[in-house]
């Protein structure tokens, strides 16, 4: 049975701004009475019906709108509680008047993510699925949409629950070893147990390693554009952004603050960071810019290392894509320190299509799904939980005492349980659901 929160909440679930329809969403114990108060007779569950919406239908006082009404009795609703939706005409005055009628009927405005939080509380989804829904609402690119949909649909949760199941079985074996220490349990039992723990560790470590790809898909692949002053870094940023995002000038040291532009490449969200030209400088502000440039080079998933024509760099950043600019002014070397160079001219456009293709391939390589197609972790929170589980399992393998090993297995289960929200997550919930938009 669904648990009904005494506080009935409401929120506009569609965006503000000009639109034809606005969906007002309501959930909580008072939903049925509130819907009756606004429109009189309730429609059949989950069937859209056209109704007049009144401030108070009983007295037919103050007609607010005529709207499609959907009645969702719990527990088979999004939140697990009784709830309803009003598909209103989207005029701001209508929305305001209906909100006032809802408050007069005893409801209150929802907090960000409160509907989904109630769905979690009622066991309609676990924490990982709830995060998937938050990501789905935010998704801007194809790859973000796909990874969020798989996660909200339970693919990642199934993986974590499967591990928790295996740990439970390992724990049962462990307890058998404790309960019957001197009995004739064949030695294979203990060996099998240790092997199971080891293979779980291997699977979890692979998941953590692969996880960088999932985090990149969710947050975007970050390219830092770096190189000496006047290489044409800001010119490149503007071409990638297709607008004048950064100031371009013949004065060396033009760019100081890092300038970020986001877009999509190969269906993946990408962010390009233009940085200050790197050189020794007496200018305090420029020096700060150079410091920031180095920071972004370190943080980036890939560095676009630029230089102008024959000013080839003396060192190459690890994994960087080398770009030799200004081919209109002179020859660009084919390689620098054995690394291939992309020859381009931001002025004439030469080589830019080829450069875009190289960037797309790099994005694909940085986000490609694992060969075995397992769901990817998408958040530092998941990573921390799985890392903790791995640490406990490694400790379990090192324990001589069976009782101590059992305790480590239990701690590993707990760590996974915190990821999916099965155990002790009260302290986490505000952080998780606070990231949602209101009305979800
Ligand atoms: N001839 C020629 N000039 C270019 C080319 N690309 C950029 N420039 C010019 O080079 C100068 C410097 O370009 P920027 O894009 O400001 O260079 P930057 O690397 O951002 O420079 P800083 O911000 O000072 O580090 C500008 O005058 C550009 O117009 C090119 O391919 N050919
Ligand atoms: K410049
Ligand atoms: Mg610049």
For 202-227, what is each residue's pLDDT tens digit? 999 999 999 989 999 999 999 999 99
The side-by-side arrangement of strands in the sheet containing 108-109 is 49-56, 61-72, 83-89, 21-27, 9-12, 108-109
pLDDT of the residue at 1: 45
* C-alpha distances in Å from residue 242, one per residue of 245, 328, 368: 8, 21, 26
pLDDT of the residue at 208: 94
Predicted confidence (pLDDT) at residue 434 exceeds the cutoff of 80: no
Query: How much of the chain exceeds pLDDT 90, in percent?
Result: 82
- Band (pLDDT 50/70/90 cuts) for residue 348 is very high
State the complex-level ipTM: 0.99
Mean residue pLDDT of the chain comes to 92
Query: How much of the chain exceeds pLDDT 70, in percent?
Result: 96
Q: Which CATH superfamily is domain 9-110 in?
A: Probable tRNA modification gtpase trme; domain 1 (3.30.1360.120)
SS (H, E, C) 197-257: HHHHHHHHHHHHHHHHHHHHHHHCEEEEEECCCCCCHHHHHHHHHCCCCCCCCCCCCCCCC
Domains 130-216+379-433 and 221-367 share a fold: no
**Architecture of the 130-216+379-433 domain:** Up-down Bundle (1.20)
Determine the average pLDDT of the residues in 170-176.
84
Query: What distance in angstroms lies between residue 239's CA and the mean position of ligand 2's atoms?
Result: 15
Predicted confidence (pLDDT) at residue 307 exceeds the cutoff of 60: yes
Pocket test for ligand 1, best of 290, 346, 352 (most atoms within 8 A of CB): 346
Cα(226)–Cα(51) distance, rounded to whole angstroms?
Answer: 61
For 309-327, what is each residue's pLDDT tens digit? 879 999 999 999 999 999 9
For 399-419, what is each residue's pLDDT tens digit? 888 788 989 999 999 999 999
Ligand minimally distant from the alpha carbon of residue 283:
1
Q: Residues within the annotated binding site? A: 25, 85, 124, 230-235, 249-255, 274-277, 440
Q: Is the shortest distance between the CB of 305 and ligand 1 below 6 Å?
A: no
The CATH topology of domain 221-367 is: Rossmann fold (3.40.50)
Q: Is the shortest distance between the CB of 232 and ligand 1 below 6 Å?
A: yes
- Band (pLDDT 50/70/90 cuts) for residue 257 is very high
Q: At residue 162, what are phi and psi to the nearest 5 degrees?
A: -60, -40
- Atom of ligand 1 lying closest to residue 235 CA: 15
Instruction: Choose between 182 and 22: higher pLDDT.
Output: 22
Instruction: Choose between 403 and 66: higher pLDDT.
Output: 66
pLDDT of the residue at 15: 83
Q: What is the residue extent of each domain of the chain?
A: 9-110, 130-216+379-433, 221-367
- Band (pLDDT 50/70/90 cuts) for residue 94 is very high
């Amino acid at each position: 049975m669904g648990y009904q929160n005494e506080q009935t909440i409401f929120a506009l679930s569609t965006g503000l701004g000009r639109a034809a329809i606005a969906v007002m969403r309501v959930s909580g114990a008072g939903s049925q009475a509130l819907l009756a108060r606004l429109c009189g007779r309730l429609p059949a569950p989950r069937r859209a019906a056209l109704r007049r919406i009144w401030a108070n239908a009983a007295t037919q006082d103050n007609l607010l709108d005529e709207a499609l009404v959907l009645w969702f009795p719990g527990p088979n609703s999004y939140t697990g509680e009784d709830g309803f939706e009003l598909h209103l005409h989207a005029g701001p005055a209508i929305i305001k008047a209906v909100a006032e009628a809802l408050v007069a009927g005893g409801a209150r405005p929802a907090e960000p993510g409160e509907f989904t939080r109630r769905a979690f509380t009622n066991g309609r989804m676990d924490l990982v699925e709830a995060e998937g829904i938050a990501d789905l609402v935010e998704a801007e690119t194809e790859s973000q949409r796909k990874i969020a949909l798989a996660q909200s649909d339970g693919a990642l949760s199934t993986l974590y629950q499967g591990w928790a199941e295996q740990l439970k079985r390992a724990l049962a074996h462990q307890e058998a070893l404790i309960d019957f220490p001197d009995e004739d349990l064949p030695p294979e039992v203990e060996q099998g147990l240790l092997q199971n723990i080891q293979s779980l560790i291997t699977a979890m470590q692979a998941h953590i390693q692969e996880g960088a790809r999932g985090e990149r898909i969710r947050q975007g692949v970050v390219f830092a554009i770096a190189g000496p002053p006047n290489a044409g870094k800001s010119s490149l940023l503007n071409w990638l952004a297709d607008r004048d995002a950064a100031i371009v000038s013949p004065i060396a040291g033009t760019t100081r603050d890092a300038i970020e532009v986001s877009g999509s490449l190969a269906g993946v969200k990408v962010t390009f960071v233009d940085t200050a030209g790197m050189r020794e400088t007496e200018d305090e502000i420029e020096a700060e810019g150079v410091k920031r440039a180095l920071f972004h080079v370190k943080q980036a998933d890939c560095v676009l290392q630029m230089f102008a024509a024959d000013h080839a760099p003396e060192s190459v950043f690890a994994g960087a894509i080398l770009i030799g600019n200004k081919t209109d002014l002179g020859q660009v070397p084919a390689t620098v320190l054995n690394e291939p160079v992309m020859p381009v001219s931001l002025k004439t456009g030469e080589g830019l299509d080829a450069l875009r293709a190289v960037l797309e391939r790099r994005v694909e390589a940085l986000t490609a799904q694992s060969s075995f197609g397992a769901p990817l972790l998408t958040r530092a929170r998941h990573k921390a939980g799985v890392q903790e589980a791995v640490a406990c399992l490694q400790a379990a393998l090192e324990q001589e005492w069976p009782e101590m090993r059992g305790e480590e297995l239990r701690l590993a289960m707990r760590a996974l349980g915190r990821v999916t929200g099965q155990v002790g997550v009260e302290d986490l919930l505000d952080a998780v659901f606070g990231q949602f938009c209101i009305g979800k």
